[in-house]
Amino acid sequence: MLRFVLRRVLWVVPVVLVVAAITFALMHRAPGGPWDRVKPIPAATRANLDAKFGLDKPIWINPGALRAERDRGTVNPFVLGRAFADSQFLNYLGNLVLFDFGPSYQSRGTTTVQEIIGAKFPVSAKLGMVGLVFAVVVGIPLGVLAALRQRSWVDHLTLAVSTVGVAVPSFVIAIMLLIVLSRRFGVSPLRRPEEWDGLGRAYLLPGIVLGLGVLAVLVRLTRSSLLEVKRQDHVRTARAKGLAEGMVVRRHMLRNGLIPIVTVLGPAGAELITGSIIVETIFNVPGLGREFVDAIAARDYSMIMGTTLFYAALIALANVAVDVAYGYLDPRIRRA
Amino acid sequence: MEHRRPPGPSRRYRWVRVAGLLALLAVIAGSPVVGAAFALAAQDGTGANAKVLRIHQLLYPETADPQKSSFTQEIAFLVANYEGLTRLDANGQTSPAAAESWTFNEDGTVLTFNLREGLTYSDGSPLTAERFVYAVRRACDPNTAGDYQYILFDIAGCQEFASLYAAGDGATPAARDDAAAFAAARDAVAARAVDERTLELTLNQPAPYFPSVAGLWVFFPAQQELIEAAGDDWWTDPANQIGNGPFQVSRMEQDQLIAFDANENYWGGRPVLDGIELVYVPDAAVALEAYNAGDLDIVQPDPAQYPAIRADPALAEQFLSFAGTNTALLSFNMQQPPFDDQKVREAFAYAFDRETWCAEVNNGDCVPTLSWIPEGVPGFVETDAFGFDPEAAKAALAESSYGGPDGFPAVEYHYIADIPEERPRGEWIAGQYRDILGIEIALVPVEQTAWVRSINDPENYPPLTVIGWFQDYPDPQNWLSILWACESFFATPAGYCNTAFDDLVQQADQELDPATRFPLYEEAHRLLLADAFAVVLSNQANVFLVKPEVTGYTTTPSDGEWPGQWASPLTLDVER
């Protein structure tokens, strides 16, 4: 089991590298750069900025620097190699190994990307956890109930709620909740900055809105998965041997019915935790989701790379967690 | 200055009118149990009776470093916290601030500022001329590389210092570790503290507009020892932002809140307000709701909300809208056919209905104009050049080398795809030209940064696109010389060049006597307009909702972030 987990975790490294190369290539292909303004920055200033952020170097490899070193008579292969590797991409990877994601361009280099991620990711993660807990705690029991009482009013209501959850965009629900709460219950639509410290009430509303989509998926998946298991022979056997209904549901139906749910929970959890631009914007949550989207428009290269790689690693790890959970739920997978 | 509206999701809510859904959600959310649960989440804002003005802001500063900033929201912060040598008064004119007076020498190349007596920072420590020397040198420093570095290139030695490491013009760049060369270039920047109260700037050529430049944020005297001790991100900590403005920042929470206290040591006396809170709410719908709930005193609504606001009698009375110091243009690529033809440009200018454009297409978010320099800024001219006239438009097209719409090439109109309103605006423009001139316009959506790159690029300048300019300082030089001279920001990529215009602005730029100077600019301005250099469209309005409790302010066209921002920091008041 340990070897299995270890192998899966190590696989994250090449995944991140490939994502890095692709993102880097796409990012530099996009027209425009971080210093583009309606009133252009003059050449001298632009050159200073490029030098400060290393944008004056070639993107992938630096044969020019290698040639310059060789002309100078350098033979030390280590120095030559370094000159050759003195490019934007390879320098970036070199710093990445040291967990240095570089300075954010939007802040004109005054803050590093790891500082921003360090400050903002915990907020997004907390919000995502609230959303995930809400989705699981409400969604799975609702799905079970709907499956057990198929075609009852519970089932229909559940279906209605989950349809709304899937079909209505979160910004519509968010704005409406804010308006209703503000006008009917006097809840201010604004939060003070300190409310995002710790795990305060501020997280309640955005967490619920964020979790609604996943909740809807969970309800429908749990329901259909359980309906399928419900008709299987081993369940009928369990009933026939006189097991209490609760035991049948918990031990024989849920444990089998949960496997597809765990499959979605991994990626869904990662998605919730990485932060949603829409929910974070409406509730003005100081999270990472907004940073990510803003960075793209601003061509904040280091921020785009940093957040993309961070997310890539997070999602890859979430998938590893799913695989491990499979092994726990279904011993056959562990052995394979 | 750079102006950016968030392209965020808020601008897409307009289409949401799903009444049935609203009813369903209202039932769910309105049920007492659910409501009670959420009511637990309620928490009061500032409960105190202090006179703290709560102002809505859409975007948080990317950097609030005076020598690096360029965006309007950054400048709004800096202007509350700091003050330059001059500032804008209620008439939008340059007036004394940290400097009580200034003089040029005879040939206009040495500018001497006399600082006020007993000038201090908010903590009571003395503010001397040396502080401004540091600000100037820091702004010119190649390592600072701020967006507005170039605006000080009129100061002797500044451009050379900024270009210290740049190769070009045959000069050998200095090595980055050459401390002696760095120190020499820094000390060669011709800003000198003659004594504690006298600052002397030596300019490369006469620059009568320079007292206005001295009021800009690059001159704001942030403290050297605090910056050097804290490093590049010094500006994020209010403890390092000890300023000399009417207010003193006390709290900075990224993307959430910036709070100021009144500066008791301001030379002009203490402001009436006890403080200001800039509350960052990226979503205009949420901001409006908070305003209605009494949690904000001033908000910047979204143009999509204007009709609903005007329809509400209470809100309509609190709606404040006035033209800003900016001008929008429908700009041509004049390097290429068909817009290298003056008559074609005239036809396009005649065929543009600016009244309908502002009132209906933009929901009243702008004021139509035919003058490139806005009213109230020197250089403004009364003109009727190429005002809306469909018959004249058709006649101009008939006189062009195309002789009419037949055989007229297909024309592309480029717009920013990230802003949802841009598409219907483009469709309206295309419809106008189809109906009046019989010309087909193809709409091309472009991602915003790619668009910005294209309007600075002579190779890829769009055939037709809407661009705008937000004034840095109230001088025609900022509207004409730096934008439309042959080698300048707007003219080069758009392909405009008129040597008669260049001669006039060059002469005016160096003329010290305003009585001679401004008429020269007006003449140049008329030349520019007569060339049909673009379709002059409108001045975008500054629009706010202001609670009746807020008083004591005079608006200036430059008040883009809140009314009274420039001229009334001391008298702004709010009833609590």
What does the pLDDT read at residue B170?
Answer: 58
Are residues B361 and B448 located together in one domain of the fold? yes
Are residues A175 and A313 located together in one domain of the fold? yes
User: Does some domain include residue B25?
Assistant: no
Contact state of A186 with B13 under an 8 Å Cβ cutoff: no
pLDDT level of residue A333 (50, 70, 90 thresholds)? low
Are residues A77 and A120 located together in one domain of the fold? no
User: Does some domain include residue A15?
Assistant: no
C-alpha distance from B139 to closest chain A C-alpha (Å): 11
Number of folded domains in chain B? 3
User: Which residue among A103, A188, A286 places its CB closest to the CB of B255?
Assistant: A286
Q: Which two tokens stand for residue B131?
A: 């502080």
Contacts of B29 in chain A (CB under 8 A): 176-177, 180-181
Distance between CA atoms of B219 and B138, rounded to whole angstroms? Answer: 10
Are residues A75 and A222 located together in one domain of the fold? no
Number of folded domains in chain A? 2
Contacts of B489 in chain A (CB under 8 A): 39-40
Q: 3-state DSSP call for residue B342?
A: helix
pTM: 0.85
- B486 vs A37, A154, B154, CA distance in Å? 20, 74, 19
Contact state of B290 with A106 under an 8 Å Cβ cutoff: no
Are residues A220 and A187 located together in one domain of the fold? yes
User: Does some domain include residue A18?
Assistant: no
Contacts of B153 in chain A (CB under 8 A): 42
* Closest-CA residue of chain A to B253: A193
Put simply, whether B279 touches A (Cβ < 8 Å) is yes
User: Does some domain include residue B94?
Assistant: yes
Contacts of B469 in chain A (CB under 8 A): 38-39
What's the average model confidence in pLDDT over A223-241? 88
Contact state of B236 with A110 under an 8 Å Cβ cutoff: yes
Are residues A190 and A302 located together in one domain of the fold? yes
What's the average model confidence in pLDDT over A84-97? 87
Instruction: Supply the ipTM of this predicted assembly.
Output: 0.83
**Residues B263, B271 contacting (CB under 8 angstroms):** yes
User: Does some domain include residue A30?
Assistant: no
Contacts of A56 in chain B (CB under 8 A): none
Q: 3-state DSSP call for residue B444?
A: strand
Distance between CA atoms of A322 and A189, rounded to whole angstroms? Answer: 37
**Residues B274, B50 contacting (CB under 8 angstroms):** yes
Task: Kindly report the CATH number assigned to the domain that includes residue B99.
Answer: 3.90.76.10
Chain B, residues 45-104, CB within 8 A of chain A, namely 45, 62-63, 65, 68, 70
Chain A, residues 99-118, CB within 8 A of chain B, namely 103, 106-111, 115
- A13 vs A1, A316, B289, CA distance in Å? 20, 9, 46
Which residues neighbour B490 within 8 Å (Cβ) at sequence distance 6 or greater?
B331, B467, B469, B483, B484, B496
**Residues A317, A24 contacting (CB under 8 angstroms):** no
Which residues neighbour B433 within 8 Å (Cβ) at sequence distance 6 or greater?
B348, B351, B439, B441
User: Does some domain include residue B290?
Assistant: yes
Are residues B398 and B514 located together in one domain of the fold? yes
Distance between CA atoms of A20 and A29, rounded to whole angstroms? Answer: 14
What's the average model confidence in pLDDT over A266-290? 85
**Residues B155, B136 contacting (CB under 8 angstroms):** yes
Are residues A172 and A197 located together in one domain of the fold? yes
Are residues B241 and B376 located together in one domain of the fold? no
Percent above pLDDT 70 for chain B: 91
pLDDT level of residue B29 (50, 70, 90 thresholds)? very low
Helices (H), B116-271: 129-140, 158-162, 179-187, 210-213, 224-230
What does the pLDDT read at residue B199?
Answer: 97
pLDDT level of residue B167 (50, 70, 90 thresholds)? low
What does the pLDDT read at residue B501?
Answer: 97
Are residues B340 and B439 located together in one domain of the fold? yes
Report for A162-176, B32-46, B371-385: range of highest mean pLDDT: B371-385
Distance between CA atoms of B372 and B326, rounded to whole angstroms? Answer: 9
User: Which residue among B162, B256, B281 places its CB closest to the CB of A44?
Assistant: B162
Higher pLDDT, A252 or B391: B391
User: Which residue among B7, B13, B39 places its CB closest to the CB of A185?
Assistant: B39
Distance between CA atoms of B470 and B8, rounded to whole angstroms? Answer: 22
Put simply, whether B105 touches A (Cβ < 8 Å) is no
What's the average model confidence in pLDDT over B423-452? 94
* B172-179 LR contacts (CB < 8 Å, sep 24+): B176/A51
- Residue ranges making up the domain that contains B192: 86-228
In B417-474, beta strands by DSSP E: 441-446, 464-470
Are residues A65 and A183 located together in one domain of the fold? no
C-alpha distance from B297 to closest chain A C-alpha (Å): 13
What's the average model confidence in pLDDT over A212-219? 90
Higher pLDDT, B343 or B232: B343
C-alpha distance from B536 to closest chain A C-alpha (Å): 17
Half-sphere exposure of A187 (CA within 13 A, CB side): 26
Put simply, whether B239 touches A (Cβ < 8 Å) is no
Are residues B286 and B390 located together in one domain of the fold? no
Please check the confidence at residue B297 and state whether its pLDDT lies above 50.
yes
What digits encode the pLDDT tens for the residues B259-290? Answer: 999 999 999 999 999 999 999 999 999 999 99
Put simply, whether B468 touches A (Cβ < 8 Å) is yes
Chain A, residues 299-318, CB within 8 A of chain B, namely 299
Are residues A92 and A149 located together in one domain of the fold? no
Which residues neighbour B562 within 8 Å (Cβ) at sequence distance 6 or greater?
B55, B76, B298, B544
Please check the confidence at residue B11 and state whether its pLDDT lies above 90.
no
C-alpha distance from B8 to closest chain A C-alpha (Å): 8
Put simply, whether B467 touches A (Cβ < 8 Å) is yes
User: Which residue among A103, A176, A184 places its CB closest to the CB of B22?
Assistant: A176
What digits encode the pLDDT tens for the residues B330-369? Answer: 999 999 999 999 999 999 999 999 999 999 999 889 999 9
User: Does some domain include residue A155?
Assistant: yes
What digits encode the pLDDT tens for the residues B425-434? Answer: 999 999 999 9
Chain A, residues 244-273, CB within 8 A of chain B, namely none
- In the block, residue with structure tokens 């790689």: A309
Are residues A201 and A266 located together in one domain of the fold? yes
User: Which residue among A106, A277, A286 places its CB closest to the CB of B62?
Assistant: A106
Contact state of B41 with A201 under an 8 Å Cβ cutoff: yes
User: Does some domain include residue A22?
Assistant: no
User: Does some domain include residue B293?
Assistant: yes
Are residues A87 and A151 located together in one domain of the fold? no
Are residues A77 and A139 located together in one domain of the fold? no
What's the average model confidence in pLDDT over B238-257? 95
Are residues B264 and B364 located together in one domain of the fold? no
What does the pLDDT read at residue B569?
Answer: 93
Are residues A226 and A299 located together in one domain of the fold? yes
Contacts of A300 in chain B (CB under 8 A): none
Please check the confidence at residue B465 and state whether its pLDDT lies above 50.
yes
Proportion of chain A in helix, strand, coil states, percent, rounded to 5? 75, 0, 25
Are residues B532 and B389 located together in one domain of the fold? yes
What's the average model confidence in pLDDT over A254-265? 82
User: Which residue among B9, B149, B449 places its CB closest to the CB of A171?
Assistant: B9
Half-sphere exposure of B203 (CA within 13 A, CB side): 23
User: Which residue among B256, B283, B293 places its CB closest to the CB of A281?
Assistant: B283
Q: Which residue, of B170, B200, B228, is where some domain finishes? A: B228
pLDDT level of residue B32 (50, 70, 90 thresholds)? very low
Contact state of B2 with A38 under an 8 Å Cβ cutoff: yes
Distance between CA atoms of B568 and B90, rounded to whole angstroms? Answer: 8
pLDDT level of residue A105 (50, 70, 90 thresholds)? confident
User: Does some domain include residue A152?
Assistant: yes
pLDDT level of residue B26 (50, 70, 90 thresholds)? very low
- Residue ranges making up the domain that contains A171: 114-335
Which contiguous run of DSSP H or E holds residue A264? helix A255-273
Q: Which residue, of A66, A83, A104, is where some domain finishes? A: A104
Are residues B265 and B134 located together in one domain of the fold? no
Choice among A195-204, B67-76, B207-216, B384-393 with the minimum mean pLDDT: A195-204
Are residues B335 and B436 located together in one domain of the fold? yes
What does the pLDDT read at residue B468?
Answer: 92
What digits encode the pLDDT tens for the residues A12-57? Answer: 889 999 999 999 999 888 888 888 887 778 787 888 888 888 888 8
Residue-averaged pLDDT of chain B = 89
Task: Kindly report the CATH number assigned to the domain that includes residue A179.
Answer: 1.10.3720.10
Put simply, whether B495 touches A (Cβ < 8 Å) is no
